[in-house]
A and B are shown apart, each in its own frame.
Chain A
């Protein structure tokens, strides 16, 4: 994904929609572990869209998303090799994202 012209944006959106629709279709029949796998891949793809469309400008957040995308790619593959490692990756990811979410809320969300 390189260009940011409007036609590319349309393609990015439909790539994501098609991915989610075809994942839902597949998960009607696929193994149970594929559900979490598809969710992780959807995160990775969403980050791709966000970064390509420059929807986030905060350099710290951009850096985090770039790193997260790489880790998601690696984490997904662990399912093929070690299911326990795959599960732990998801659990750790939730802990990590909870910490990040709190920081993001502190920075961007007004409670007033």
Chain B
């Protein structure tokens, strides 16, 4: 099977990967429900360890709940009117499907994988995202009345970018790669 680096599919994906930025300033327009549903419907095709699919999504559009989430999320810096997708892991489910490894380690990796899929899909539609991990898990669980075994892992803000920041520095490939 040949690998076509110059193919249009590769170029499109590469462009989406490379131009995605963390967006902190959003406009006041809220993303329509059907677009969020479309993104999540595609994101569930992301890979997960052991195909556990322990991710669960809480989509928050209610302004009062968004305000409460922001109050307990120091990592939520910036303004505008994004919605929040709270990526949770059903850790009991992860344990039943993949044992202690699923419950204690895979769930973090799985959340990261699906978060990147969401971010890239959103970016390809002209939306901006901000993946937030600095929040009080206990407070968010309380505010959203999450089921006992759902642990909030990440909050992704999704909205229309008001400012697109410059790309931060990237480490050179030779610092990251070891060939054997």
Contact = CB atoms under 8 A, between A and B. Distances in A.
A14 B72 CA distance: 10
B164 interface: no
A15 interface: yes
A102 B139 CA distance: 40
B168 A34 contact: no
Q: Name the prevailing secondary structure of the B interface residues.
A: loop
Interface in A15-50: 15, 18-19, 21-23, 25-26, 30, 34, 38, 41
B177 interface: no
A110 B8 CA distance: 73
Contacts of A23: 74
A44 B133 CA distance: 21
A19 to B, nearest CB: 6
A41 B74 contact: yes
Question: A interface, how many residues as a size bin?
Answer: 10 to 19
Given A41-B77, A80-B168, A15 B71 contact: yes
B77 A22 contact: no
Contact of A34 (B71, B134, B139, B165): B134
Contacts of A34: 134
A22 B135 contact: yes
A43 B137 CA distance: 24
Nearest to B166: A81
A76 B77 CA distance: 10
B61 interface: no
B171 interface: no
A15 B77 CA distance: 13
A80 B71 CA distance: 22
Residue from B67, B73, B75 whose CB has the most chain A CB atoms within 10 Å: B75
Contacts of A11: 67
A22 B169 contact: no
A25 B168 contact: no
A77 B22 CA distance: 12
Given A30-B134, A41-B77, A76-B77, A22 B72 contact: yes
Interface of B: 22, 67, 71-75, 77, 134-136, 138-139, 165-166, 168-169
Interface of A: 11, 14-15, 18-19, 21-23, 25-26, 30, 34, 38, 41, 76-77, 80-82
27 contacts: A11-B67, A14-B71, A15-B71, A18-B71, A18-B139, A19-B74, A21-B72, A21-B136, A21-B139, A22-B71, A22-B72, A22-B135, A22-B136, A22-B139, A23-B74, A25-B136, A25-B138, A26-B74, A26-B134, A26-B135, A30-B134, A34-B134, A38-B74, A41-B77, A77-B165, A80-B22, A82-B169
